[in-house]
Amino acid sequence: MIMRPMVLSSRTLWLPRIAAFALAALAAGSAVYWALQGPAAAAPSGLAVADLSPPSVNTRAVASALGAPGGAGMGGADPALAAPALASSRFALTGVVAGASQSGAALIAVDGKPPKPFVVGAVVGDGWVLRAVQARRAVLAQPDAADATVLVLDMPAPIGAKKGF
């Protein structure tokens, strides 16, 4: 039997090198994937939401603690004028989807609870009805009240927004 000397060409040398590189890259990618899956399984599935609504305050208790007469109501203020002020602290507008002719929906948080969607005409709470929505604004009204009390809720300005523009 005649044996020929083995001649290696550049093409035959690169094939094992490319295969070894591909296997090493696949092993490294697999290791990175499983390393990133470990902390994700321990993390909570939902994002935490910061509660930016103002805390509810019992104004009568604060007024009496500061020395206001007990029988004068809200420090001598007219209770009819105090109702919209108290209601505005109960409701927080977080989003608006406004359509043509003041129709649409609004995301409103009631009494510090998570916001819920309300369509125009829906009862928001304690006799307050969503009457209209506009860009960054919702209008609530009490149709049962004799003086037809209206409350306008404005969305807070976006973070970093410049005023006056």
pLDDT digits (tens, 9 = 90+) for 154-164: 887 777 666 65
Q: Establish if 29 belongs to a structural domain.
A: no
Joined tokens for residue 94: 């977080």
Distances (CA, A) of 150 to 49, 100, 116, 145, 161: 30, 21, 20, 10, 28
**131 located within any domain:** yes
CA contacts within 13 A on the Cβ side of 71: 0
Residue 54's pLDDT is 66
Model pTM score: 0.45
Predicted local confidence at residue 126, as pLDDT:
80
Q: Which residues of the chain have pLDDT under 50?
A: 71-76, 80-81
Looking at residue 149, which CATH number applies to its domain? 2.30.30
pLDDT tens digits, 47-73: 555 556 666 777 788 777 777 776 444
Structural domain for 132, as ranges: 79-154
Total tally of structural domains belonging to the chain: 1
Per-residue model confidence (pLDDT) at position 30:
94
Task: Confirm whether 69 is domain-assigned.
Answer: no
pLDDT at 49: 57
